[in-house]
């Protein structure tokens, strides 16, 4: 791609910072969005150049209005909805606040921000990129709330792709497997018992960028999880049996209790 103006939410750490690094390496102009200015400034320092730092809470109308105001001056080619949280543990431990906060950040915010930035994206015939998860295809035990939010994000991506295609706006859904970020610290007790493999944010970002540059409809991980997603879509009973066995494992149950304690 030629140089584009790219806005990344959750750009202060993890996959967001790695995506910003990858975009900067390709010569794109960056707008870094996050709740706290400190982590955004750290990302900017690591990038060099002169990215726009924009502290804003995407779950609030005020935060999104600040973003819209900035975009009115810069224009926008690519919106990357990356900000999110990864709640884990037994469902009975998820209180109303945890449910509301997760859905607000993981699904309501990207939907609302995409709506609010649709005019500049349509003007540039731009692209919306939604950072999902393999758990948006495979409903994982002890990640029920997270899976619910990513299933919703995948459905939103499909619907938006079809609605915005006549305007020339592409929609790309990225589904990485578990990634070694600060968010993963919240479910670290489950990693061993569930035999989870975690990728680095840099590997996820480099793989994702190929799909973003090609304006693909979706991208699955280049790993065994790709096969699991295909099996989920074609033979869900096989995945059911495997994950029910996992949910019955005493070590997994103990780890889930510790995660939510």
Active-site residue list:
146
What's the Rg (C-alpha) of the chain?
18
Residue 144 burial class via C-beta count within 10 angstroms: exposed 0-12, middle 13-18, buried 19 and up:
middle
How far is Cα 248 from Cα 228, in angstroms, rounded to an integer?
20
How far is Cα 143 from Cα 260, in angstroms, rounded to an integer?
11
How far is Cα 157 from Cα 143, in angstroms, rounded to an integer?
21
Cross-strand partners of 145: none
**In this structure, are residues 133 and 175 in contact, taking their beta carbons and an 8 Å threshold?**
yes
How far is Cα 190 from Cα 170, in angstroms, rounded to an integer?
36
**In this structure, are residues 63 and 34 in contact, taking their beta carbons and an 8 Å threshold?**
no
What would the two tokens of residue 217 be? 């409809």
How far is Cα 16 from Cα 61, in angstroms, rounded to an integer?
22
Cross-strand partners of 80: 8, 129
Residues 6+ apart with CB under 8 A from 229: 134, 137, 138, 175, 220
């Amino acid at each position: 791609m030629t140089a584009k103006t790219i806005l990344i939410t959750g750009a202060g750490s993890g996959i967001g910072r790695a995506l910003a690094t990858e975009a900067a390496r390709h010569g794109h102009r960056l707008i870094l969005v996050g709740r706290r200015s400190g982590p955004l400034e750290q990302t900017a320092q690591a990038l060099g150049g002169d990215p726009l730092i924009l502290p804003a809470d995407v779950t609030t109308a005020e935060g999104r209005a600040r973003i819209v105001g900035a975009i009115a001056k810069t224009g926008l080619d690519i919106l990357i909805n990356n900000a999110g949280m990864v709640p884990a543990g037994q469902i009975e431990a998820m209180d109303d606040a945890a449910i509301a906060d997760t859905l607000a950040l993981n699904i309501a915010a990207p939907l609302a921000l995409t709506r609010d930035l649709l005019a500049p994206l349509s003007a540039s015939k731009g692209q919306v990129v939604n950072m999902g998860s393999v758990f948006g295809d495979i409903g994982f035990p002890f990640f029920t709330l997270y899976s619910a939010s990513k299933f919703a994000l995948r459905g939103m991506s499909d619907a938006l792709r079809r609605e915005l295609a006549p305007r020339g706006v592409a929609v790309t859904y990225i589904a990485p497997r578990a990634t070694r970020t600060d968010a993963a610290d919240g479910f670290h007790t489950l990693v061993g018992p569930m035999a989870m493999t975690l990728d680095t944010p840099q590997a996820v970002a480099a793989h994702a960028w190929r799909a973003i540059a090609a304006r693909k409809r979706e991208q699955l991980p280049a790993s065994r999880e790709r096969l699991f997603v295909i099996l989920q879509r074609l033979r869900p009973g096989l995945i059911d049996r495997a994950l029910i066995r996992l949910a019955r494992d005493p070590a997994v149950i103990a780890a889930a209790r510790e995660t939510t304690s």
